[in-house]
Structure 1
């Protein structure tokens, strides 16, 4: 894909929308991308809009045991594109799309059809469509795994009682994403394999290491995602992990403000566009008000970055 890898470059200015499920909704990896450019490349004007929605799918599927029908990106896609007018759209789905069941051709086809439609709609709106692989499922991080994981012949599965080898399902989905060519997407990026490598390395050092909750990665996992996207989308390969990954409050003067700004705008944008998750972003401000507060935070971020130039990791 010409946008990525060795040919990837940092644009001087770009509006980039992120669509995805709860991992994107959390937004930590997007805040790391934002912090990198604000601290290391302050002359770059990248607007990163997080439109992740918890529980969402591209497939339109929902397991019977889910407490409410899973939202689907197509419930809001046209409005999201019209309201944000993005130049790039980065999409990361798959974790929920297999609905935590063993691999089946029917569910796999629903994921593929949903992703193709999603990428096609984005391109028709005039934006570049960038497909990211789903992250891995890590049963070793699941609380009470012995009682919650289900064998392939179980009657029912869910996010709370997933198939014991659900990682194999996500690996199949990830491999398919990486096979998308220029006729389907403007670029693809892998976070699946880098995160698997991180999990293996962490467990070699500490067999009890918790990478998150099995589905949602911890802060270090979000850094792996951010680092992978920095390399694939922008040709940037940071040599070290920033201190605020381990210590978000104490290691950085600027990062807590970047995070505050990110969550402020993410909640406002998500509710402005609308979605079908029954849970709404708590305390979300009207978009115009959120943008005004974000502008104030922007000035504080610049001042904080200037006061701590050592934060500009490479």
Structure 2
């Protein structure tokens, strides 16, 4: 596994990362962040890792930019987990085009934020794809989401980051189950849906059950 003793892992993103971390499920939320924390801690308690959730519901990259210094750089992460992009696309399909983020702005803003974090803290990056829990790749929102997924894939290569293929993880389960089994709105996962994300992240960081 990629984490070392005493490291600080900071998660930042939107509601999928937030998941009640500022209210009902303080401080980690009750989604994929807490699932990953629980599994890694249970198998590697000797590492003494520190876990920080700075997800905020509704965020796009524009919102991340506004709070980047306080919620990311000031946290001094050793590893920074970034999962952003769902709202950047979704706003266009909620008749809120002024709040949607065009793909070139999304790419340039995210690149700038990642560069600032690495330069300021020396952190390593884990980039988690946005997704849509929708098997029809011809669906307009799914097609646009796939474009943003490719941006994250390219940035992962550019920054030598760990890449978490979230969309592919959902695509695998959708071959045998309907989208509604994982989320009511194709966006906000139930607990099994969060487990799909957590499994993808755990695999990407090299986590394994002890033998």
* TM-score range relative to shorter protein: 0.7 to 0.9
Unaligned runs of 5+ in 1: 1-7, 61-71, 141-163, 239-312
Equivalent of residue 170 in structure 1, options 128, 145, 152: 145
Equivalent of residue 44 in structure 1, options 42, 47, 62: 47
CA distance in 2, matches of 1:217, 1:12: 31
The Cα of 1:52 is off from its aligned counterpart by 0.2
Q: How many residues align?
A: 192
Q: Is the 8 A contact 2:164 2:204 kept in 1?
A: yes
Give the TM-score normalised by the residue count of structure 1: 0.55
Q: Cα deviation per residue 1:242-276 (whole Å; 9 max; x = unaligned)?
A: xxxxxxxxxxxxxxxxxxxxxxxxxxxxxxxxxxx
Whether 1:54 aligns to 2:57 is yes
Residue 119 to residue 137, structure 1, CA distance change in 2 (3 Å): same
Residue 185 to residue 118, structure 1, CA distance change in 2 (3 Å): farther
Equivalent of residue 210 in structure 1, options 175, 181, 184: 181
The Cα of 1:79 is off from its aligned counterpart by 1.5
Quote the RMSD (CA, aligned, Å).
Answer: 2.6
CA distance in 2, matches of 1:24, 1:186: 19
Q: Cα deviation per residue 1:11-51 (whole Å; 9 max; x = unaligned)?
A: 22310111100000014111111111232222122211000
Q: Is the 8 A contact 2:133 2:183 kept in 1?
A: no
Residue 125 to residue 222, structure 1, CA distance change in 2 (3 Å): same
Give the TM-score normalised by the residue count of structure 2: 0.80
Equivalent of residue 83 in structure 1, options 64, 68, 74: 74
In the other structure, the counterpart of 1:112 is 107
Equivalent of residue 236 in structure 1, options 203, 207, 210: 207
Unaligned runs of 5+ in 2: 20-28
The alignment partner of 1:101 has SS state of helix
CA distance in 2, matches of 1:43, 1:100: 43
In the other structure, the counterpart of 1:16 is 9
The Cα of 1:182 is off from its aligned counterpart by 5.1
Q: Who wins on radius of gyration, i.e. which is larger?
A: 1
Q: Cα deviation per residue 1:68-120 (whole Å; 9 max; x = unaligned)?
A: xxxx1111111223431111111111101124437x9x811111111111111
